[in-house]
Amino acid sequence: MPSLPVPVVTIGLLIASNVFMTFAWYGHLKFKEAPLVTVILVSWGIAFFEYVLQVPANRIGHGHFSAAELKTIQEVITLTVFVGFSVWFLKEPLAWNHLVGFGFIAAGAFFIFHRWT
């Protein structure tokens, strides 16, 4: 059985990890009436699954990607997942200045991954 390429596995795990992370960090904002201790404990439980995916993603990806590249991939995925989460789950609008800021972060990713000769 052929295995998937390292970038596919790494990025797939990072995407799944970031979905859990986003819900752990921001999902409770929709439930402000819930006691803080409850949302902390629920967030910890969700974050466990984030770590179950994030740690193997970095372990598998390191070597193919540098640590700086792994972190950059993770941040770009985080922003992408967060934009969808913010708009569809929290029902918050995305403004032009958010897009400009995210564009600057994407430009930073370009500088990390571009092979300078």
Ramachandran assignment for 99, one of left (phi > 0), alpha (psi -120 to 50 degrees), beta (any other)? alpha
List, for residues 45-103, the tens digit of each pLDDT value.
999 999 999 999 999 999 999 999 999 999 999 999 999 999 999 999 999 999 999 89
Q: Extract the tokens encoding 93.
A: 């609008």
Assigned domain for 69 exists: yes
Categorize the per-residue pLDDT at 7 as very low, low, confident or very high, splitting at 50, 70 and 90.
Answer: very high
HSE-CB of 90 using CA atoms within 13 angstroms: 18
pLDDT value, residue 1: 56
Assigned domain for 54 exists: yes
| Rounded average pLDDT over 95-114 | 90
pLDDT value, residue 113: 87
Categorize the per-residue pLDDT at 2 as very low, low, confident or very high, splitting at 50, 70 and 90.
Answer: low
Rounded Cα gap, residues 21 and 23, in angstroms: 5
Rounded Cα gap, residues 31 and 35, in angstroms: 9
Categorize the per-residue pLDDT at 18 as very low, low, confident or very high, splitting at 50, 70 and 90.
Answer: very high
13 versus 106: the higher-pLDDT residue is 13
Assigned domain for 1 exists: no
Rounded Cα gap, residues 82 and 11, in angstroms: 16
Categorize the per-residue pLDDT at 116 as very low, low, confident or very high, splitting at 50, 70 and 90.
Answer: confident
Q: Count structural domains, the chain.
A: 1
| Enclosing domain of residue 57 | 6-113
Assigned domain for 38 exists: yes
